[in-house]
Amino acid sequence: MFTIGCHLSSAKGYLAMAKTAQQIGANTFQFFTRNPRGGSMKALDLEDIRAMRAFCKEHHFGKLLAHAPYTMNPCAADDNIRAFAQKVLQEDLERLSHLPEAMYNFHPGSHVKQGADVGIVKIADLLNQVLQPETKTEILLETMAGKGTEVGRNFEELRQIIDRVELSDKIGVCMDTCHVFDGGYNIVECLDDVLREFDDVIGLERLKAVHLNDSKNKMGSHKDRHACLDEGEIGIQALSAIINHPKFADIPFYLETPNELEGYAKEIAWLQSLRK
Ligand code: FE
Ligand code: FE
Ligand code: ZN
């Protein structure tokens, strides 16, 4: 099954998102667990979640993807910021226990001036404090562009985090095509080599989701500016090769291109026409 969706606003609730996704031709979607730039969140509406799950089941949706807020920094130097990250992670996972079809994606964080080594230890420590043997949600580390002091700028850094997590069977990776390209991986000309490297360093069995984006900047820019499909440096040919690569056959794709709903609908239809 080709599972394709995009990032949607959660302002109108869960069922509304699923219906919007279906209207634009998607069979999954990504959403923020709460205000992406703040910490606040609405009370959990279990009835809305129940209705959404029934709708998704009826329409054969693939796995959903919940995205943590950008303000969460699990490797901050400031203890208050890290305590906030722990609270967010704990609360989000508690909420997602009611939504087992959703995976949870987060940015590993920015080490600021502490160094990546310190950042990696802090991220893993936080996960070790929050993860419980009974945690059902799949937790995904996102591959980052390496903007500023972002941790997760290459596959090795993600591997080092995973190695330090005790319950690491719960940890997967979400590959963002804009970010890996921006991070210096040549997914345009050498996709097979990049996937081999991912497999050697992390293991392809950890790859659970793809954020499908074009990039405004050239390979290795470390700037993290998403572009619409074929309006960036990656181009539709390379993105088409990704959605058709046998290693991605069962991986869900989520667009995070700078679009309104109409643009997303067009991109989804385009990708469906390209998927062989
Ligand atoms: Fe992200
Ligand atoms: Fe992303
Ligand atoms: Zn990004």
The secondary structure of the chain, three-state, reads: CCCEEEECCCCCCHHHHHHHHHHCCCCEEEEECCCCCCCCCCCCCHHHHHHHHHHHHHCCCCCEEEECCCCCCCCCCCHHHHHHHHHHHHHHHHHHCCCCCEEEEECCCECCCCCHHHHHHHHHHHHHHHCCCCCCCCEEEECCCCCCCECCCCHHHHHHHHHHCCCHHHEEEEEEHHHHHHCCCCCCCCHHHHHHHHHHHCCHHHEEEEEECEECCCCCCCCCCEECCCCCCCHHHHHHHHHHCHHHCCCCEEECCCCCHHHHHHHHHHHHHHCC
Q: How far is the CA of 58 from the centre of ligand 3 (A)?
A: 32
- 37 C-beta neighbours (distance < 10 Å), count: 9
* Average pLDDT over every residue of 177-193: 98
What is the Å distance from ligand 1's center to 227 Cα? 14
Distance of CA 178 from the midpoint of ligand 3 (Å): 7
Task: Give per-residue pLDDT as tens, 56-66.
Answer: 999 999 999 99
Asked if pLDDT for residue 40 goes beyond 90, the answer is no
On whether the CB atoms of residues 173 and 141 are closer than 8 A, the answer is: yes
Taking residues 44-55, report their average pLDDT: 95
- Check residue 43 and give its pLDDT: 80
pLDDT at 52: 98
Which tokens is 90 given? 């704990």
Q: What is the pLDDT of residue 109?
A: 97
pLDDT at 257: 98
> pLDDT at position 126, please?
98
pLDDT at 190 (0 to 100): 98
pLDDT above 90 (res 35)? no
- Long-range contact pairs involving 247-250 (C-beta distance under 8 Å, separation at least 24): 247/195, 247/204, 247/207, 248/210, 250/1
The residues placing their C-beta within 5 Å of ligand 2, an ion, are 176, 211
CB contact at 8 A, 170 and 135: yes
Average pLDDT rounded to a whole number, residues 65-85: 95
- What is the pLDDT confidence band of residue 232, given thresholds at 50, 70 and 90? very high
Q: Is the pLDDT of residue 36 over 90?
A: no
From 23-37, 138-152, 222-236, the region with the lowest mean pLDDT:
23-37
Supply the mean pLDDT for the chain.
97
235-257: pLDDT as tens digits: 999 999 999 999 999 999 999 99
| CB atoms near residue 249 (< 10 Å) | 10
Other beta carbons within 10 angstroms of residue 89's beta carbon come to 22
Is residue 81 scored above 90 in pLDDT? yes
274 C-alpha to ligand 1 centroid (Å) = 25
* Centroid of ligand 3 to alpha carbon of 13 (angstroms): 24
Average pLDDT over residues 210-218: 98
Q: Positive or negative CA dihedral for 216, 219, 224, 230?
A: positive
Report the separation in Å between the CA atom of 152 and the middle of ligand 2, taken as the mean of its atom positions: 12
Tell me which residue of 93, 100, 129, 124 sits closest to 111, measured CA to CA.
Answer: 124
* pLDDT average, residue stretch 38-59: 90
pLDDT band of 42, cuts 50, 70, 90: confident
pLDDT at residue number 165: 98
CA of 105 to the centre of ligand 1 (A): 7
Cα separation values, 235 from 2, 204, 230, 266, Å: 20, 24, 4, 16
Q: How far is the CA of 106 from the centre of ligand 1 (A)?
A: 6
Q: How large is the average pLDDT for residues 212-219?
A: 98
Tell how far the Cα of 51 is from the centroid of ligand 3, in angstroms.
Answer: 31
Please give the pLDDT value at position 217. Answer: 98
Residue 229 is predicted with a pLDDT of 98
Average pLDDT over residues 25-48: 87
How many angstroms does the Cα of residue 208 sit away from the middle of ligand 3? 17
What pLDDT is stored for residue 121 in this prediction?
98
